[in-house]
Amino acid sequence: MIKIALYGKGGIGKSTCTANLAAAFASLGKRVIQIGCDPKADSTINLLGGKPLQPVMDYLREHEDDPERIEDISRIGFGGILCIETGGPTPGLGCAGRGIITTFNLLEQLELFERYKPDVVLYDVLGDVVCGGFAAPIREGYAEQVLIVTSGEKMALYAANNINSAVKNFEDRSYAKVRGVIMNRRNVENEEEKVRAFAEKTGLEITADIPRSDDIIRFEDMGKTVIEGDPECETSKRFFALARKLIEEDK
Amino acid sequence: MKNVSRIIPCYSADTSGVCSALYELGGMTVTHDASGCNSTYATHDEPRWYDMQSDIYISALTEMDAIMGDDEKLIFDVVSAARDRAPAFIAVCGSPMPMMTGVDFDAVAAEIEARSGIRTFGMHTNGTRSYIEGASEAFLDIVREFVTDCPKGGLGVRSPLNHEMSQTLQRPSPISDNIGVNILGMTPLDFPWRGTMDSMKRFVAESGFEYVSCLAMGSSLDEIRRAASARVNLVVSFSGFAAAKYMKERFGIPYVCGVPFGKKYAERVKCYLNWAAEDKECDTVNERGGEPCDIVIIGESIGAVSLASALWHENGTHARVICPLPTDREILADYDLTLSAEEDIERALHDLAPKTVIADPLYRYIVPRGTRLIELPHFAFSGRCFERDMKDLIYCDIPF
- Domain at B163-284: CATH architecture: 3-Layer(aba) Sandwich (3.40)
**Alpha-carbon span B203 to B209, nearest angstrom:** 9
Q: Which residues of A touch B107 (CB under 8 A)?
A: 139-140, 170, 173-175
Interchain contact A89–B (C-beta under 8 A)? no
d(CA A96, nearest CA chain B) in Å = 10
- What pLDDT is stored for residue B154 in this prediction? 47
CA distances from B180 to B156, B208, B252, B319 (A): 9, 10, 14, 32
Q: Which residues of chain B does A175 touch, with a Cβ-Cβ cutoff of 8 Å?
A: 107
- Does A251 participate in catalysis according to the annotation? no
User: In the predicted model, what is the mean pLDDT of chain B?
Assistant: 89
Catalytic residue, chosen from A58, A128, A209, A250, is A128
pLDDT at B173 over 50: no
Residues near A63 by beta carbon (within 8 Å), at least 6 away in sequence: none
Active site (annotated) includes residue A128 = yes
Instruction: Flag whether residue B109 sits within 8 Å of chain A, measured between CB atoms.
Output: no
**B295-389, CATH topology level:** Rossmann fold (3.40.50)
Q: Measuring CA to CA, which residue among B187, B252, B236 is closest to residue B48?
A: B187
B104 with A173: Cβ contact below 8 A? yes
Kindly name the residue from A3, A9, A194, A224 that is annotated as catalytic.
Answer: A9
Judged by CB atoms closer than 8 Å, whether chains meet at B102 and A172 is answered as no
Residues of chain A with pLDDT under 70: 127-130
- Of A142, A74, A59, the C-alpha closest to A104 is A142
Q: Which fold has domain B14-129?
A: Rossmann fold (3.40.50)
Query: Would you say the CATH fold of B295-389 matches that of B14-129?
Result: yes
A176 reaches B (C-beta below 8 A): no
Half-sphere exposure of B189 (CA within 13 A, CB side): 38
Task: Say if B169 is an interface residue toward chain A (CB within 8 Å).
Answer: no
Residue B162's pLDDT band, with cuts at 50, 70 and 90, is very low
* pLDDT at residue B153, rounded to an integer: 60
Write out pLDDT tens, residues B112-150: 999 999 999 999 999 989 999 999 999 999 999 999 988
Residue B118, pLDDT score: 97
Å from B103 to nearest chain A CA?
7
Q: What is the predicted pLDDT for the residue at A127?
A: 67
Quick: pLDDT tens for B350-363.
999 999 999 999 99
Q: What is the per-residue pLDDT for B166?
A: 42
Q: How many angstroms separate the Cα of A151 from the Cα of each of A13, A115, A183, A199, A211? A: 9, 37, 6, 12, 10
For residue A97, the model assigns a pLDDT of 84
What gap in Å lies between CA A33 and CA B235, rounded to an integer? 41
Question: What's the average model confidence in pLDDT over B63-85?
Answer: 90
Tell me whether residues B2 and A132 touch, CB distance under 8 A: no
Q: Using the predicted structure, report yes or no on whether residue B343 has a pLDDT greater than 80.
A: yes
Query: Nearest by CB to B111, which of A95, A140, A172?
Result: A172
Contact A106, A59 (CB under 8 A): no
Greatest C-alpha distance within chain A: 54
**A98 vs B102, B106, B110: nearest CB:** B102
Distance from CA of A177 to the nearest CA of B (A): 15
Of A95, A131, A173, nearest to B110 by CB-CB distance is A173
Q: B100 contacts in A (CB within 8 Å)?
A: 95, 98
A64 touches chain B (CB under 8 A): yes
The more confidently predicted of residues B166 and A82 is A82
Q: How far apart are the CA of A136 and the nearest CA of chain B, in angstroms?
A: 8
* Cross-chain CB nearest to B102 (options A64, A101, A170): A101
Could you read off the pLDDT of B267-314 as tens digits, one per residue? 999 999 999 998 888 999 999 988 787 999 999 999 999 999 999 999
With contacts defined as CB-CB under 8 Å, which chain B residues touch A94? Answer: none
CA distance B329 to chain A (A): 17
Q: Which of A98, A136, A173 is nearest residue B100 as measured by Cβ atoms?
A: A98
Pick from A136, A172, A174: CB nearest B102: A136
Q: Is A14 a catalytic residue?
A: yes
Q: Specify whether the CB–CB gap between A214 and B146 falls below 8 A.
A: no
CA dist B254 and A228 (Å) reads: 55
- For residue range B314-332, list pLDDT tens digits in order: 999 999 999 999 999 999 9
At residue B278, φ and ψ (nearest 5 deg) are -85, -50
Catalytic, A221? Answer: no
Q: How is chain B split into domains, by residue range?
A: 14-129, 163-284, 295-389
Establish if B340 touches chain A: CB-CB under 8 angstroms.
no
Average pLDDT over residues B252-280: 94
* Active-site residue (options: A14, A30, A194, A224): A14
B292 preceded by a cis bond (ω within 30 of 0) = yes
User: Are B215 and B182 spatial neighbours (Cβ–Cβ below 8 Å)?
Assistant: yes
Distance CA B380, CA B386 (A): 11
Between CA B294 and CA A155 the distance in angstroms is 72
pLDDT in tens, B226-248: 999 999 999 999 999 999 999 99
Residues 26-85 of B with CB under 8 A from A: 69
Q: Which residues of B touch A64 (CB under 8 A)?
A: 2
Chain A, chain B: beta-carbon pairs less than 8 Å apart: 34
| CA-based nearest distance A41→chain B, Å | 21
A-chain CB neighbours of B69 within 8 Å are 131-132
Model-level pTM? 0.85
What is the pLDDT, as a whole number, of residue B177? 53
Q: What structural domains and CATH numbers belong to chain A? A: 2-250 (3.40.50.300)
When pLDDT is cut at 50, 70 and 90, the band that residue B169 belongs to is: very low
Residue of A nearest to B102 (CA): A132
Q: What average pLDDT score do residues B195-216 get?
A: 93
Taking the C-alpha atoms of residue B129 and residue A142, their distance in angstroms, rounded to an integer, is 24
- Taking the Cβ of residue A133 and every Cβ of chain B, the question of whether any pair is shorter than 8 Å is answered with yes
Whether the Cβ atoms of residue B378 and residue B325 lie closer than 8 Å to each other: no
* Partners of A3 in beta bridges: A121
Find the CB nearest A140 among B69, B106, B111.
Answer: B106
pLDDT reading at B99 higher than 70 = yes
